[in-house]
Structure 1
Amino acid sequence: MAEDYKYLTFRIEDNVGIITLNRPDKLNAVSWDLAEELAALLLKLRYRDEVRTILLTGEGRAFCAGGDVDFLSGEGDRPMPGTSSADRPIPRSQRKSPGGPFFEVMRQLVLVDKPVIAAIHGHAVGAGLAYALACDRRFADSTTKMAAIFTNVGVAPDCGMSYFLPRIVGFSNALMMVETAKVFKAEECKELGLIDELVPEGKDFETAFEYARMLAQRASVAVDAARRLIHMSQYMTLDEILEFEGAIGVCVAGSADAKEGTMAFMEKRKPVYRGV
């Protein structure tokens, strides 16, 4: 089952929604239009029950080489606040949120309310690294190179980099990465925690898909709720998260899969989950 997009490809296999960034001639650099398509697709997938997990990858030689330089320079078809000439009109909505769909992708990667797994090869830098860091787990092959590359082109970190990076690599390493814009090879990325699973060249999609498919076979209402709670815990107090665990726990306990799971445990058999 495949669906048509201009800058993405999308298909569903074994309840896994596979999103592929599809600008291989640009190393899948994120243009305004690609970001719009990706954010809109993630929003739709939140409500598509046949999709239980999502896999994000890139076509060709790279996962994603960051933001499209034509846009960032202000010389592209769409003006960029701060870099475009003063005589170019900028839409009102963009005045209020210069990052537009680039930033919305980050929101939707969390709000999609389903596990998102990254299959990474080649470059994952700038916005591409930010999108990878927002995923639940990152499988990367030995060709992977990562960098918070923003200051190399004279711009500040964006696309949620400042939020996710210190939470994943620690405060001091995050400062080092954004200040130096150093490019790290696959083994170094694994040591920093940027990569969760380092696999041989060409095996990133295969291993990421197997993990995503495994999650899709679990009690997806409970998995999605567990994911949501972990995200909420990043900005809540203990008392607040205990209250939400109680409320969400009651909701999930009413699912068919919760009944199947508890009965299977009591009957000493493997549960058969239906995702409801």
Structure 2
Amino acid sequence: MAAYTQILETQQDGVLTLTLNRPERLNAWTPVMQAELEAAIRAAGDKADVRCIVITGAGRGFCAGADMNHLQDIQGDTDAGTKSATAGVERPTPTGLEKIYDGRFGYLYACPKPIIAAINGPCAGIGLIFALFTDLRFTTDDAKFTTAFAQRGLVAEHGIGWLLPRLVGEANALDLLFTARVFKGNEAADLGLVNKSLPAAELMPHVQELATFLATQVSPRSVAVMKRQVRAAYFQSYTESLAEADAEMAASFTTFDFREGVASFVERRAPAFQGK
């Protein structure tokens, strides 16, 4: 595995766990952290032995937002957002979903592996945006969330103005953006911002159980195609989405995973999917 300075990387049973690792700063976001996360997730997307990605935070926080020292450094720099978004990152020429979802976090949608955020504590600002671009989100009942931007003189950054209303509805999105109020994990679950809120001791066991299930019991090819279908559908008509589904269904009938899925069901055994 690569040597990183601000994230930790571990892998077991097809599950890659990436841990934001600046606990003394509640894992506040930096350009280095951003570059390392993107590099690790892009690499994982190409690895057959990675079936699911989990992202969490070291210590008592998930990500408290942008490091304030960095924010002070970029005052008055009108190009700071663009430069920060690309600092230290060698991006390939955009293809597929990254042509649709450009910007800082489009690579998360384009990654063919399911990505789960285990939000174990404070989640604010850019840390919240990053979490919203993951596929599934789980948190603790007492974890604190805030968009933060309005209280820092900033705006709805990096696509959250498009994404947040689609997750929680326009009225709730405007409330969270305008007020930048702090809300907890149980409200985040009620709003639909996260899939589920749990007692702190249950968060990682729940996420690890789900991640292991996704890594061992479902076809990685099916998951990759479905993830792409759902993300692309936002920019398709129903007819276009249906046509894509029909084409993908026909293609799936020719795959090893389809044959294995049927055989494992008939033979009443665990599947051994290969992602092809």
- C-alpha displacement of 1:99: 4.6
Q: How do 1:99-178 residues align onto structure 2 when only pairs under 5 Å count?
A: 99-101=84-86, 106-178=105-177
Corresponding residue for 2:236?
Answer: 236
1:1-276 correspondence to structure 2 within 5 Å? 3-73=2-72, 75=73, 80=74, 83-84=75-76, 97-101=82-86, 106-217=105-216, 218-265=218-265, 267=266, 269-276=268-275
> 1:98 deviation in Å?
4.2
Query: Residues 155-200 of structure 1, C-alpha deviation per residue, up to 9 Å, x if partnerless?
Result: 1121321122111111110011101101102222221112211111
Hey, what does 2:99 align to over in structure 1? none
Q: Distance in 2 between matches of 1:167 and 1:99?
A: 26
The two structures, once aligned, show a CA RMSD in angstroms of 2.1
Contact 1:27–1:63 (8 Å) recurs in 2? yes
Q: Which amino acid aligns with 2:269?
A: K
Deviation per CA, 1:76-115, whole angstroms, max 9, x where unpaired?
xxxx3xx2469xxx7xxx68x3451488551121111111
**TM-score, with normalisation over the residues of structure 2?**
0.87
Query: What's the % identity of the aligned pairs?
Result: 30
The answer as to whether partners of 1:16 and 1:213 remain within 8 angstroms in 2 is yes
Where does the alignment leave 5 or more consecutive residues of structure 2 unmatched? Answer: 88-101
Q: Give 1:231's aligned amino acid.
A: R
Q: Give the Å deviation of 1:59.
A: 0.5
Is 1:64–1:129's contact at 8 Å kept on the other side of the alignment? yes
CA separation of 1:4/1:98 partners in 2, compared to 1, >3 Å: closer, same or farther? closer
C-alpha separation in 1, matches of 2:83 and 2:4: 24
For residues 254 and 3 of structure 2, the distance between their equivalents in structure 1, rounded to whole angstroms, comes to 37
Distance in 1, matches of 2:157 and 2:77, equals 22
The alpha-carbon deviation at position 45 of structure 1 amounts to 1.2
Secondary structure of 1:55's counterpart equals: strand
Change (3 A) 1:241 1:26: same
Q: Please identify, of 256-265 and 214-223, the stretch whose mean Cα deviation from structure 2 is larger.
A: 256-265
Aligned residues, how many? 260
Does the CA contact (< 8 Å) of 2:139 and 2:198 recur in 1?
yes
| Separation (CA, whole Å) in 1 of partners of 2:104 and 2:255 | 30
Whole-Å Cα distance in 2 between the matches of residues 110 and 246 of structure 1? 22
When residues 236 and 213 of structure 1 are mapped into structure 2, their CA distance, relative to the original with a 3 A threshold, is same
